[in-house]
Structure 1
Amino acid sequence: MTTPDRDPAALRTEALDWLRRLNSGEATSADAEALDRWRTSSPAHAAEFAKAALFWNVLGDAARRAESDRAGSPSALRSGRQLVRRGFLVGGAALAASAAGALVLRPPLELWPSVAELAADYRTRTGERRQIEIEKLAAIELNTRTSLDQQALADGDVRVELITGEAAVSTHGGADRELVMIAGNGRIASREASFNIRKDGASVGVSCVAGMVTVSCQGREIAIRAGQHVVYGPQGAGDVTSIDPDAVVAWQRGLLVFRRAPLAQVIDEVNRYRPGRVILLDTVLGRRQVVANFRIDRIEDVVDFISKAMGIRTRSLPGGVVLVG
């Protein structure tokens, strides 16, 4: 463990190393506990981590304008799996420690997993996909940076909660009960269907690929069928729209498909698959349309595409941060 009398510059380097580790997409509960020990070893450690973490949160007014508030309702953590101890936010340099603790609980610009994500039953890292089976009810493929909880109910049913991210779900027609999924302030039920569900902050989108899915939000029930899509959130559910199912689930084939998509939307999507953050500084540039396919296993090609094919200036900062515009 680092001693409290270390040079501030050395502590700052170590704090940045912690940020890079958290930002790597491979952070675990053991990393969270090790960071806890490092930060609480002295007031100087806590202060330097707070300064390093706040760096990401103050990249500039333009960056903050480009990043919309995606905070959703926090998922309750089971007490036995709490990753952050009560002592995490106390001790010397209380203000700095509290600031850093808040940044761990709600990471700035989503640069690393939140505590709720780290505590999930199933979680994928940056660029990772994972397939799971929910008893005999469904096969679920988790996309990048996705966290999902499975809960056994008193009546023997199973409920699945999508904490964040995206999943492709196929429910088995032979099951004697529905699969029930919770995401944000809504509920999705399916007995025999294939659908894609995605949660970004408080916004949830459900796309039906085959069969029929029932979406419930704020007392309203909506049945969507193959080729249909609905988005809901704190303000309720929107209208049912048509989608191209092949484009929606292209990620399962390792592709990102954009057809006249605004650059701002492209950047938001790319940020889910690469460590760090690409930040758009110019909202006018964000309206430029993009027609392209990108391979997820070569996601850095998107930054080159923006710079070379679109002729837009890009600047790289530590920790995988790229400024566009």
Structure 2
Amino acid sequence: MSTHSQQAVDWFLRLRSEGCTEADRAAFQSWLSADPDHRKEFTEVRSMWGGMDKVLARPFPELEACLALPPRPASSLAGGLTSLGRWLTWSPANQFIPALLALVLVAGGWWLWEALSVQTAIYETAVGEQKTVTLADGSRLDLNTGTRVTTAFSSRRRSIELLQGEAAFTVVHQSDRSFTVSAGGRHILDIGTQFVVHQHQNRIDVTVTQGSVLISRDEKAGSSSSGESVVLEAGHRLRYVVGGQDDGGVIALDPTESHRSTAWRDGKLIFSGVRLAEAVQEVNRYWPGQIVIDAPNLADVKVQGVFNVRQLDQFFTTLPRILPVEVSRRSPQYILITARHSGSSN
């Protein structure tokens, strides 16, 4: 340990002692002002102890009062060191210095190890691509088209952020290590679960297919009684606006709708009487180009069928057979849907 580091620890212990006087605080200010390295070393010691205060539930008002004093001239440094040396010579607390130093160093090392041990990763898919990832804890992550997530796993928590797109989570529950997904300003805490989170523009859909999740604005919320938290059970969906309020609240899904919302995991798109505009919007998520409906009166026409996301040409060839439309390819990726002309046949 360097001389400055040793002095910083000594001052720290002195300021925490019951015998610390105004003269000691003034001398400390002189020492602090004498060299920029003094403040740097002292800040590091204080930072390490700050986390320990949370564990020991012991505040440090003496230090705050001391740091609030105006800087003293560097010429007073000798007096500061004399005061410090005098305290170290006679103080009965000296017998605890080795133990306290060890505690500070061990605690600092633990927090440093904790920070360095966080494993981070980024997973993403291109338009039309789907991917399954087995995470380090054994949990399964299914990424739908155009999705991007980040993960940060440590010994105490597993955190995932959905930046865009849609992902399904099959979580290996660990009672001593939480699993949280953040999306659109809210946090989804696993309670032994399979669930899907879909972010589309400014809307988030959370659908639980097994178990339950706790959804909260506060990442540290631990129960449904905290703030605006809500427990979402299997077979239910919560829709909310990014950074805003719920959009429709909790919705109970019938088995057909629940299956439809997760069919993409099997490479399927299921349309059961949905508007053509909605069907095209969904297919556009997987299509590398653009699909356009060129007749407003077609938007509300109902579509029914099951389509393979890896064979979207099937969707384009099927539409004219089941609806009064024509589908034309203006370029390899640009698809135009228009009303069928009178007299045209399938």
Alignment TM class, shorter chain as reference: 0.5 to 0.7
CA contact (8 A) 2:146 2:285 kept: yes
SS at match of 2:296: coil
**Is 1:240 the counterpart of 2:246 in the alignment?**
no
Match of 2:232 in 1: 224
Whichever residue aligns with residue 326 of structure 2, its letter is: R
Match of 1:97 in 2: none
Whichever residue aligns with residue 184 of structure 1, its letter is: G
Match of 1:260 in 2: 273
Match of 1:169 in 2: 169
In the TM superposition, residue 255 of structure 1 has moved relative to its aligned partner by 1.1
Q: Deviation digits for residues 117-173 of structure 1, max 9, x if unmatched?
A: xxx8111123322122333273111112111111357x8423211111111101113
Alpha-carbon distance between aligned partners in 1 of 2:337 and 2:289, rounded to the nearest angstrom: 14
CA contact (8 A) 2:147 2:165 kept: yes
Alpha-carbon distance between aligned partners in 2 of 1:176 and 1:256, rounded to the nearest angstrom: 38
**Is 1:308 the counterpart of 2:321 in the alignment?**
yes
SS at match of 1:141: strand
In the TM superposition, residue 177 of structure 1 has moved relative to its aligned partner by 2.3
Match of 1:128 in 2: 129
Alpha-carbon distance between aligned partners in 2 of 1:245 and 1:180, rounded to the nearest angstrom: 22
Alpha-carbon distance between aligned partners in 1 of 2:214 and 2:295, rounded to the nearest angstrom: 39
CA contact (8 A) 1:184 1:233 kept: yes
Q: Which has the larger radius of gyration?
A: 2
TM-score (norm 2): 0.55
Match of 1:143 in 2: 144
Whichever residue aligns with residue 241 of structure 1, its letter is: I
SS at match of 1:287: coil
Q: How many residues align?
A: 205
Unaligned runs of 5+ in 2: 1-120, 219-226, 339-346
TM-score (norm 1): 0.58
CA contact (8 A) 1:185 1:233 kept: no
Following superposition of structure 1 onto structure 2, how do residues 271-290 of structure 1 map, counting pairs within 5 Å? 271-290=284-303
Q: Deviation digits for residues 238-258 of structure 1, max 9, x if unmatched?
A: 311122322221111221111
Q: Structure 1 residues 159 and 323 mapped into 2: Cα distance closer, same or farther (>3 Å)?
A: same
CA contact (8 A) 1:132 1:141 kept: yes
**Is 1:210 the counterpart of 2:206 in the alignment?**
no
Alpha-carbon distance between aligned partners in 1 of 2:161 and 2:217, rounded to the nearest angstrom: 15
Alpha-carbon distance between aligned partners in 2 of 1:157 and 1:299, rounded to the nearest angstrom: 40
Following superposition of structure 1 onto structure 2, how do residues 17-166 of structure 1 map, counting pairs within 5 Å? 121-136=122-137, 138-152=139-153, 156-166=156-166
Runs of 4+ in 1 over 4 A off after TM superposition: none
SS at match of 1:264: helix
**Is 1:180 the counterpart of 2:180 in the alignment?**
yes
SS at match of 1:308: helix
Aligned residues: percent identity? 23
SS at match of 2:229: strand
Whichever residue aligns with residue 250 of structure 2, its letter is: V
Larger mean Cα displacement after TM superposition, 223-232 or 131-140: 131-140
Whichever residue aligns with residue 160 of structure 2, its letter is: V
User: Aligned Cα RMSD in Å?
Assistant: 2.1
CA contact (8 A) 1:137 1:178 kept: no
